[in-house]
Amino acid sequence: MIRKIATALGLMASVIALPQAAHAQSEVKIGIGFGIGFLPMFIADELKLVEKHAKAAGLDTSASYRRFSGSAAMQDAVLSGSVDVGVYGVAAMLIAWDKARNSPQQIFGIAGVNSSPLVLVTNRLDAKSIEDLGVNDKIAMPALVSPQMYALQMIAEKRFGKGQQDKMKPQVVALPHPESLNAMLTGGTEVKAYFSTPPFTQLVLESGKAKILTSSEEAFGGRSTFLAAGATKKWLEANPKMADVLIKAIDEASDMIRKDPKKAAAIYLKVEPSKFLDEAKVEAMLKAMPDDFGTAVYGVKTLADFMGRTGGLKNIPAKWSDVFVPAAHGSASN
C-alpha cells in the first residue's frame, strides 16, 4: 500500500513538473534601433549568440528583437517592460539611473555596443566652424533628446562659454537619418547641418556635398560611447546570469566584425538594405572602424559631470562603474 502511494505521488510530481519545466523556458526581449552602430545586435540575432551563451550558462533562453527610433522611445520601452533590454544612448540611461534611484525601475548599463564618433556635417561648404552657422541654419538629428543633442550642448559650452550650452538648441530639428541625408544632398531646405552617425556620415561625405564641422570627440575630448545596453534593476535581479550572457554575445559579435567584416557587411545589408551601399562599401567601412564595436564604455563620467553641472542630473555618479552592472567592470572603460 505504501509503495502504491509512493508511486502515485511520484507520478503526480512528474505531471506537476511538466508545466513548470515549460514555464522555465524564457525569452529576453531586446530593443534596438537603426544604423550600423547596432550591428553587434544584428549579428547576435542572425547567429543566435544570446541563445548560445545562455545555453552555456545553463539557461534555456531565446532572444527577440524589436526596433525603435531614438533613445526616448527606447527608454520608455525599457521602463514599461515592453522590452527587457534596450540599446540606446548613455544620456537617457543616466537620467533613468538618477530619477529612479534605489527603486526597481532604476536603469543600469550592461555593456557598451558602439563608440563610433557622432559627426556634425554641413552642406554650407563656405562654413569653417559651427560659429559660421546662422541662426536660421537648422541642425538635424534623429530626436530632440539624443546623444547628438548632448554632444552639441557640450561643444557649445566649450565654444561659447559656460552657461551657453543651449545656444544652438533653437536651431535643432528632429529628422530621421534618411531625411537628414537627403537634406544634405539636395540642399533645398532650411536644414544646413546634420549630426550624423555611420553609415550616413560616410554617405554624405562621399557625395562631396558636405563637410565636417566637428564631432563628439571634441565634446568628450576623445572616444565616447554612442550606444550601450541597459535594463532595469528589477529585470537584472530577476535574471542574474543574463548580464554576463549579453556581454559575451556582444563581445563575440564585435570580434566577428573585426575578423570577418565581409560576413558582417552581408548581415548588415540583410537587416538594412540600402540603395546607396553594397557589400564591398560596407566591408570597407567596417575595416576602417575596427575599434568602434565592443563592450567597453567611454566618456560616461564626462557626460554625467556635464549633465550634473547643467541640471540634467541631481545625483552625479562618483565613477562610471556606479552606473554599470558588476559584470561590466572588468572592461577597459571610463
**C-alpha cell belonging to residue 35:** 544604423
Residue ranges of the domains in the chain? 2-115+224-328, 119-220
pTM: 0.86
Domain 119-220 has CATH 3.40.190.10: yes
The helix/strand/coil state of 85 is strand
**C-alpha cell belonging to residue 64:** 527577440
Determine contact, residues 141/195, Cβ cutoff 8 Å: yes
pLDDT tens digits for 90-137?
Answer: 999 999 999 999 999 999 999 999 999 999 999 999 999 999 999 999
Q: What is the mean pLDDT of the chain?
A: 90
Residue 5 has pLDDT above 70, yes or no: no
DSSP track, 1-69:
-HHHHHHHHHHHHHHHHHHHHHHH-EEEEEEE-SSGGGHHHHHHHHHTHHHHHHHHTT--EEEEEEE-S
The helix/strand/coil state of 325 is coil
Multiple choice CATH, 2-115+224-328, 3.40.190.10, 3.20.20.70, 3.30.9.10, 3.30.950.10: 3.40.190.10
Give the H or E element holding residue 281.
helix 279-287
